[in-house]
């Protein structure tokens, strides 16, 4: 694969691409500390907090990845009227992400709080209401996406984390509208009801996610993954599949062919957020007119940066250019 093509694209034309991310927007909070004793109140470790941070999570992390690569990003989803929303929008503003598509609801802003002792996650607290979003709030989201598609959008990403934004009605409205405009739709799937993604150009499941929708067990090997992808394409009416396979790399399966891309050999420190990086970089390549197999290879290289970091992480333009040299 010619890395020079990818390098030249990220260095230049990528900045002109417009990508719209729709889905479950989240805030990720981390408390880092040291564990030196057990609490006298209960048999649990006491973590002395030494630092903390807040980052963009879920669909917002997909947008963050794209923003760090220098392209033009819009995001749509649901938030609450709370502190977590303010923190989220402050971070989106700082990264130049257009968040006019965020709909304020009567639910809390989905937030995940993690306590890390040393390099070990001790506990996670979730602030959320994950029921399907319908009614006036959903109508506002649909109208926003339809209006944005009438403007300048080169690719749409549906980032489904199962928190209520990506209902069947919403997914189908977005996919049909994007298809009508000739704009590719990529879906990061959740759960097993993939019928709601019918008509999507790509789904980007990991091995566990694609295994969950199959009638039987498979091994994480090229032939099995290709057969699984073709089963998914036929059963759910999805055009193509980009399956991420951890240490075995990823597989791009189209109607006519299959490409199996090995992972870059390195130590894997944390895989959280790697799927967001893959779909973001893959969509950016497609938005810029790169061939699907070239875009997939570029996404694989970007993921190699992310898995070497602790916690949710968005790859930068400079980091991606470095690994593409």
Active site residues: 276
**Residue 2: how many other CB atoms lie within 10 Å:** 9
Positive or negative, the CA dihedral 293, 296, 302, 305 is negative
Distance CA 79, CA 111 (A): 10
Q: Give the contacts of 322 (CB within 8 A, at least 6 positions apart).
A: none
Q: How far is CA 298 from the centre of its chain?
A: 15
Distance CA 291, CA 317 (A): 20
Task: Give the residues across from 58 on adjacent strands.
Answer: 25
Distances from the Cα of 185 to the Cα of 65, 127, 191, 238, angstroms = 17, 29, 18, 10
Distances from the Cα of 147 to the Cα of 180, 184, 190, 217, angstroms = 13, 16, 26, 43
Nearest to 306 by CA among 261, 265, 279, 272: 272
284-307 burial code (b ≥16 CB/10 A, e <16) = bbbbbebebbbbbbbbbbbbbbbb
């Amino acid at each position: 694969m010619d890395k020079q093509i990818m390098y030249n694209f990220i260095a230049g034309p990528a900045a002109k691409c417009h990508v719209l991310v729709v889905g479950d927007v989240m805030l990720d909070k981390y408390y880092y500390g040291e564990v030196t004793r057990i609490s006298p109140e209960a048999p649990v470790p006491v973590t002395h907090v030494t630092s903390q941070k807040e980052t963009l999570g879920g669909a917002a992390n997909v947008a963050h990845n794209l923003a760090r690569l220098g392209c033009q990003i819009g995001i749509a989803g649901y938030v609450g009227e709370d502190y977590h929303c303010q923190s989220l929008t402050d971070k989106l503003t700082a990264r130049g992400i257009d968040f006019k598509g965020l709909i304020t609801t009567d639910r809390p802003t989905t937030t995940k709080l993690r306590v890390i002792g040393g390099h070990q996650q001790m506990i996670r607290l979730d602030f959320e209401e994950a029921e399907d979003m319908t009614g006036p709030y959903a109508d506002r989201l649909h109208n926003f996406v339809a209006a944005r598609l009438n403007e300048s959008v080169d690719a749409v990403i549906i980032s489904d984390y199962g928190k209520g934004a990506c209902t069947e009605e919403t997914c189908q409205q977005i996919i049909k509208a994007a298809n009508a405009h000739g704009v590719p739709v990529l879906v990061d799937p959740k759960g097993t009801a993939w019928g709601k993604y019918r008509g999507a150009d790509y789904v980007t499941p990991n091995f566990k996610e694609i295994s969950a929708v199959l009638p039987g067990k498979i091994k994480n090997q090229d032939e099995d993954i290709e057969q699984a992808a073709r089963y998914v394409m036929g059963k759910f009416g999805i055009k193509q599949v980009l399956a991420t396979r951890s240490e075995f790399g990823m597989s791009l399966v189209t109607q006519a062919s299959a490409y199996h891309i090995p992972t870059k050999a390195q130590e894997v420190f944390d895989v959280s957020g790697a799927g967001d990086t893959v779909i973001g970089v893959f969509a950016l390549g497609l938005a810029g007119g790169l061939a699907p197999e070239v875009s997939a290879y570029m996404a694989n290289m970007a993921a190699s940066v992310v898995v070497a970091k602790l916690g949710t992480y968005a790859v930068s333009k400079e980091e991606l250019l470095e690994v593409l040299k």
